[in-house]
Chain A
Amino acid sequence: MDLFLQLLANGLVIGTFYALSALGLTLVFGLMRIVNFAHGELYVIGGLLGWSLTDQLGLNFFLALAIVVFALAVIGYLIDRFMMSRVRGQGEEPTILLTIGLSIFITNTALLIVGTAPLKVVSPFANKPLFLGPVVLTQSRLMLVVICIAIILGAHLLIQKTSIGRAMRATFQDAMAAQLAGIRTAHIYGFTFALGAALAGAAGMLLGSIYVAQATIGGLVSLKAFVVVILGGMGSFAGAIAGGLILGVAEALWGGYVATGYVDAIGFALVIVMLLLRPYGLFGKHNERA
């Protein structure tokens, strides 16, 4: 029983990380109908930037996090303004090709600059173990979970409660009506992509402090993020959280009880089952199939 609780705790912790990592992807899909294959690479930029700010420049972790979020938002806005806007309204295929191209470009540029070495974001939190009954967690992981939850909550409030969030939802439900209300829709598209990129970058830096930041992990990050959003339902905010937690717990239990070697495969097994039984995901609507 103690082992189960420990594995469950590990799974929930990693699941929270997965949820944050996938949030930007599902948001950009749900609102903009863009399947962003460069999502993992934006995560990589966040991790590498976080490493250079905390390790190379010695900046404070939270200051660095703020800079990463801002920088990725700017990058995301520019990507939308100068690339995505050119293929807007032409269906999903051009955006898929565009983001795949972008992912290759970012990965190779990152390789040119920092090489293949795994790099670590300097964390302010100790690796001291905390004993919660039978469960042991490190302080750094617990703090990261708190930060992830805060960011997820912040994104939710931004979309649901603010004027710009309302304008975002209005634009993606009916762009013409939004224009007629005086909303500058081109800005809204840019802002939404910026938000997705900022969330990806924040995840990259945060997780780079307990795992590593590395130029080549973008593909794996994108894959896991796709697993999460397909489980939860493409475009669903709650779905990303549920999908992340399910994947985290499933991986932890599988790794603990069965075999650690196949942990990365478990997510895809879940996706196959989900696509067979409920192709729109746990929280998706029927018409939201990708």
Chain B
Amino acid sequence: MSDTSPILELRNVDAAYGKVKSLHGISIRVAPGEVVALIGANGAGKSTTLRAISGLLAPTAGDIQFEGRSIAGRRPDLIVRGGIAHCPEERHVWPDLTVQENLHLGAYLCRDKGEVAKREEMVLQRFPRLRERAKQAAGTLSGGEQQMLAIGRALMSAPKLLLLDEPSLGLSPVITMEVLSVIRDLRDQGITIVLVEQNVHNALSVASRAYVLSTGRVVAEDSGAALLNNAEVLRAYLSG
């Protein structure tokens, strides 16, 4: 990937919750169209890295560049407008809003109603079950359906870069396979994806490269296949 300029680049990013520093000089490069996984045990800083990228948490040091421009510390709405969608851990759909309202709010920044309808149709074609449940409160959906909704909502902003935080968390193996196949489809469509996963085998089945994080630092980086073969790395840093 070194011959193309990255769509996303983190340079020595530090971040902290209050006084507790949880990222120590994270550096990551993602090329356009790539699926990159962040793997590591609980508390390694994977989710925090995504939060820094999407603006939920301003980095205390270092820089984050998206398409060649610094986005470090910008407001989340401006980052969404720039083309980054963050699908957070535990889905965070709005439980009392309908499925359709959840989707429409995903395109909150798009004022063109025709465009919103077009995106909605694309999402509903990808996730037919959401169409059946359009008028239902999102809180009544099953875990798998909520995950589909969360991904669908993120896609409603027509992102160039999609941040997926543990999309298979708490899902049955069958549904997990479905989620992974959706990720492959999105990759084939040209959407760049940063995927956080606890399950290494799942992550590396869709990602071309992975960064291994441990206690807020990048401790290894390699192609998926190489990492899978590197039993030492897996044993040292991963719980899965």
Contacts and interface: CB of A to CB of B under 8 A. Distances in A.
A174 B92 CA distance: 7
Interface stretch (B11-19, B79-87, B182-190): B79-87
A184 B77 contact: yes
A86 interface: no
Contacts of A130: none
B104 A180 contact: no
Interface residues of B, number: 27
A93 B22 CA distance: 31
Contacts, number: 62
B80 A181 contact: yes
A29 to B, nearest CB: 16
B115 interface: no
Contact of A182 (B80, B87, B95, B104): B80
Given A174-B92, A180-B76, A169 B97 contact: yes
B88 interface: yes
Contact of B88 (A167, A176, A183, A184): A176
B106 A169 contact: no
B119 interface: no
Given A163-B108, A182-B108, A184-B75, A174 B94 contact: yes
Interface in A170-191: 170, 173-174, 176-184
B156 to A, nearest CB: 8
A179 B58 CA distance: 14
Interface residues of A, number: 16
Interface string A178-212: 11111110000000000000000000000000000
B77 A167 contact: no
B56 A177 contact: no
Interface string B144-155: 000000000110
Nearest to A183: B108
A156 interface: no
A289 interface: no
A115 B90 CA distance: 56
A177 B94 contact: yes
Contacts of B85: 180
B221 interface: no
B88 A182 contact: no
A202 B75 CA distance: 35
17 contacts: A163-B108, A167-B108, A170-B105, A176-B88, A177-B92, A180-B54, A180-B76, A180-B80, A180-B85, A180-B88, A180-B92, A181-B80, A181-B106, A181-B157, A182-B76, A182-B77, A182-B109
Interface of B: 54-56, 75-77, 80-81, 85-88, 92-97, 101, 104-106, 108-109, 153-154, 157
- Lowest 9 CB-CB distances: which A-B pairs, in order? A182-B80, A177-B92, A182-B109, A182-B77, A179-B76, A173-B94, A180-B86, A170-B94, A181-B108
